[in-house]
Amino acid sequence: MEAIYDAKLDPEFQNAFIDIDKQDSRKLPDGTEIPLRYIHGGFEGTAVRFSFFYPEKERYEGRFYQYLSPFPGPDEEIASISLTGGDDKIAFALTHGAYFVETNMGSAAIFTNSNDNTMTHRSSAAAAEYSRKKAREVYGYEHRPYGYVYGGSGGGYRTMACIENTNAWDGAVPYIIGSPYAIPNCHTTRVHAMRILRHKMEQIADAMDAGGSGDPYEGLNEEEAAALREAELFGCPLRSWFSFRELGDGAVPVLLPGVKRMDPDYFEDFWKVPGYLGAEPDSNAVRDRIKMTAHVRMIYIPEKKAAALAGNVNGADTAWLKMLSSNMSGEPWIELDQIPVGDDLYLTGVQILVKTGAAEGKKLMLDHIEGSRIYLSKAYGVDDIPEVMELLQTGDEVLLDNSDYIAFQTYHRHQVPSKDYHGWDQFRDAEGEPLYPQQKKLVGPIFSSNGPGCKQNGLIQGKVIIVASLMDESAYAWQADWYRRKIASVHEGVDERELCRLWYVDHSLHDDRAETIDELHVTSYLGALRQALLDVAQWVENGTAPLPSSEYEVNIGQMSVPETAVQRKGIQPVVTLLANGSACAHIKCGEQVAFLAEAEVPDGAGSLTHAEWSFEGDPSYPDEGELELTDNGQRAVIRAEHTYDEPGTYFAVIRVSSERNGEAGAFFTQVHNLERVRVIVD
């Protein structure tokens, strides 16, 4: 076993500098201003930059929280400053006895660390230790602040690297985490199924929705059913299909160029070598492939503008957006002398390679086609759009090609790992051998270790609470269980309950924003995450054991949990809902529907605080629900009546909240869940 890294002894991080040290304040959601001291600086001779946010002494309880974003990069240490409301990490820390730490993890370039892939955990640990030194100066007394590191998605990998390989933190909360084989395999399985089922996505989502048939395979042909089954066995949550149209292919365009650099032969073999889908002449891959040349007839270049990204682009589902190219104010397009034709074109992932002229060798990405014009998309791994457009000339030849994008979608079939990863059992024969040709290297561990600087080993150096989502569409839920079991397996003779907890939440996607893509289908897990941060601190500082891990079963790639909150455990309330006694009510216009909801909080998780109704699709939940509380607020019945005056299909939704101390006004620690019913009005 390698020695645990101690940043205090690393000569690379002994000379810190401060370039900003000032009094500032933070505005809370209720408008209250909290004074703070803001310190920004770095370490001389390195690209490491950090930001520290210290509350006033009377608010300080001797701890700090340090957030790790999915990707390091320039200015990452100031990324949380712009966040407000429910997304405000800094305000949460300040109002809960802690100062806040954020760094760029030693990277001066987006999506990269440095030539040293241990830089993430080493530089983060160095910043943590230096923040302690500054805390002693700020507060004027000798002490060692407790430290807790947390991050989700790619930041979850980095969090695991930090708590396993350094002594800088006392606890960690990695959330929505992947296994060593998550990347790119969770992404490719989903996108392969989405391509095959692109005309059945709404049908699948409806089957899995409230009052639906419950059979997502109904009406699928053999090829479609096989694609859905492949994704389901791998862990793709079918209840998340409602979101796939809007979420699109997620980080796949970012991952593909990296995989092609590591394994270029695959993208050739896929179309030629027996055993790969593209080598089958009648396969769906061949059917959807676009590979054609055309010539430029006209070019439209919008005005340039300063590059800017609005909103939270430092989160689990948004950080990759920083890698996209383009700084134009409008939509650039190229008119061609011919375009792809067909009734069912698969235009996703079509790359445009310039074959002749001054822009020869440059690459762009297709967004969509209108008439004879191809519109361009921001993308990672392609050239700067304005630069290429200015070089293009009438008559230049271009190649339109989605070959690599389609090939990438079944990459997971050729990346079969050890037999303890059961999602790949579908790709093994009766003797356990792979059914398909295998690539020379398994790239999953390369992705999961190169960024954080190590492969997860489970040898944690502090207390850990893992937060994961049952409906996570990008980091399939079974992977959090993999890490929990990894921790247990490498600490022989130690009760797992002394080391870690795993809390699953339901009705949440991968994203870690306070506002979700669809408030009527899913809800944010941030309240659960922040309660986990508070609980890991109490575990370390006072010996107060957190709530038990969630109860669940893993069936190959799919997760199942008990029906009630008390049985399910963890931290999240559970709510059931019926309309006229059913999950699907059929009524006439003008008839009144009786809604009955029952909510429950796990033992020790607090009390119910809020109930909100949306009867006709309003995501703001305009109708407050009345909680009929029992058992000291652990359980409640919520009743409502509503009349529908227009025919149609409606989904009535109730969202409930609980809070550890039963405080309805505790902004950052409300833990949500919801339930839906279908109402068909004739």
CA distance 243 to 75: 31
Burial class (CB in 10 A: 0-12, 13-18, 19+), 679: buried
Residue 6 CB partners (closer than 8 Å, separation 6+): 166, 167
pLDDT at res. 73: 85
Q: Would you place residue 469 in the very low, low, confident or very high pLDDT band (cuts 50, 70, 90)?
A: very high
Q: Are 200 and 234 members of one domain?
A: yes
- What would the mean pLDDT of 233-253 be, rounded to a whole number? 93
Token couple for 291: 């590979």
pLDDT at res. 253: 87
Nearest to 523, CA basis, from 635, 616, 658: 658
Q: 123 lies in a domain?
A: no
pLDDT at res. 96: 98
Q: 225 lies in a domain?
A: yes
Find the Cα–Cα–Cα–Cα dihedral 519, 79, 314, 366, rounded to 10°: 110
CA distance 612 to 603: 23
Pairing of strands 146-152, 63-67: parallel
Half-sphere exposure of 236 (CA within 13 A, CB side): 26
pLDDT at res. 454: 73
Q: Are 329 and 425 members of one domain?
A: no
pLDDT at res. 449: 80
pLDDT above 90 as % of the chain = 87
Residue 184 preceded by cis peptide, ω within 30: yes
pLDDT at res. 108: 80
pLDDT above 70 as % of the chain = 95
pLDDT at res. 251: 85
Residue 23 CB partners (closer than 8 Å, separation 6+): 35, 36, 37, 38
In this predicted structure, the answer to whether residue 1 has a pLDDT above a threshold of 60 is no
369 close to 339: Cβ distance less than 8 angstroms: yes
507 close to 523: Cβ distance less than 8 angstroms: yes
Angle between the 252-262 and 185-196 helix axes, to the nearest 10 degrees? 120
Residue 658 CB partners (closer than 8 Å, separation 6+): 572, 573, 601, 605, 606, 607, 608, 609, 670, 671
Q: Where is pLDDT greater, at 321 or 25?
A: 25
Q: 144 lies in a domain?
A: no
CA distance 74 to 18: 17
Q: Are 386 and 414 members of one domain?
A: no
Token couple for 85: 């409301």
pLDDT at res. 72: 86
pLDDT at res. 111: 60
Residue 70 preceded by cis peptide, ω within 30: no
Match 């712009």 to its residue by tokens: 82
Give me the CATH number covering residue 382.
Answer: 2.40.10
Q: Are 296 and 244 members of one domain?
A: no
Least confident of 308-312, 429-433, 511-515, 648-652: 308-312
Q: Would you place residue 447 in the very low, low, confident or very high pLDDT band (cuts 50, 70, 90)?
A: confident
pLDDT at res. 315: 67
Q: Are 393 and 297 members of one domain?
A: yes
Q: Are 376 and 429 members of one domain?
A: no
3-state percent breakdown (helix, strand, coil) of the chain, nearest 5 = 30, 25, 45
Sheet holding 146-152, edge to edge: 16-27, 33-43, 49-55, 98-103, 63-67, 146-152, 171-175, 463-469, 500-505
CA distance 231 to 478: 13
Match 């797992």 to its residue by tokens: 496
pLDDT at res. 326: 47
Nearest to 448, CA basis, from 43, 178, 176: 178
Match 């079991």 to its residue by tokens: 485
Q: 637 lies in a domain?
A: yes
Q: 507 lies in a domain?
A: no
Q: Are 396 and 414 members of one domain?
A: no
Q: Are 677 and 568 members of one domain?
A: yes
User: How many beta carbons lie within 10 A of that of residue 619, not counting itself?
Assistant: 13
CA distance 482 to 487: 9
pLDDT tens digits for range 288-340:
999 999 999 999 988 765 444 445 555 666 554 444 444 455 789 999 999 99
pLDDT tens digits for range 140-154:
999 999 999 999 999
Q: 107 lies in a domain?
A: no
pLDDT at res. 455: 82
Q: Which of 391, 421, 442 is the last residue of a domain?
A: 442
CA distance 464 to 484: 10
User: How many beta carbons lie within 10 A of that of residue 9, not counting itself?
Assistant: 9
Average pLDDT across the chain, whole number: 94
Ranges of H-type helices in 465-581 = 478-490, 526-542, 565-568
Q: Are 237 and 322 members of one domain?
A: no
pLDDT at res. 440: 93
Backbone angles phi, psi at 653, to 5 degrees: -130, 140
User: What domain range is 257 assigned to?
Assistant: 185-279+409-442
442 close to 455: Cβ distance less than 8 angstroms: no
Q: 284 lies in a domain?
A: no
Beta strands in 320-386 (DSSP E): 333-336, 351-354, 363-370, 373-376
pLDDT at res. 310: 45
How wide is the angle at C-alpha 220 spanned by C-alphas 219 and 226, nearest 5°? 155
CA distance 217 to 61: 54
CA distance 331 to 349: 18
Buried b (16+ CB within 10 A) or exposed e, 556-588: ebbbebeeebbebbbbbbbbebbbbeebbbebe
Q: Would you place residue 492 in the very low, low, confident or very high pLDDT band (cuts 50, 70, 90)?
A: confident
CA distance 650 to 678: 6
Token couple for 22: 């000032």
DSSP secondary-structure letter at 505? E
Q: Are 568 and 670 members of one domain?
A: yes
Sheet holding 623-624, edge to edge: 584-587, 671-681, 648-659, 607-614, 623-624
Q: 593 lies in a domain?
A: yes
User: How many beta carbons lie within 10 A of that of residue 51, not counting itself?
Assistant: 23
- What would the mean pLDDT of 518-534 be, rounded to a whole number? 98
Q: Are 594 and 668 members of one domain?
A: yes
Give me the CATH number covering residue 667.
Answer: 2.60.40.650
At residue 490, the 3 state secondary structure works out as helix
pLDDT at res. 112: 59
Backbone angles phi, psi at 94, to 5 degrees: -60, -35
Pairing of strands 333-336, 146-152: unpaired
pLDDT tens digits for range 122-142:
999 999 999 999 999 999 999
Q: Are 306 and 391 members of one domain?
A: yes
In this predicted structure, the answer to whether residue 448 has a pLDDT above a threshold of 90 is no
Least confident of 109-118, 236-245, 278-287: 109-118
pLDDT at res. 320: 42
pLDDT tens digits for range 405-426:
999 999 999 999 999 999 999 9
Number of domains present in the structure of the chain: 3
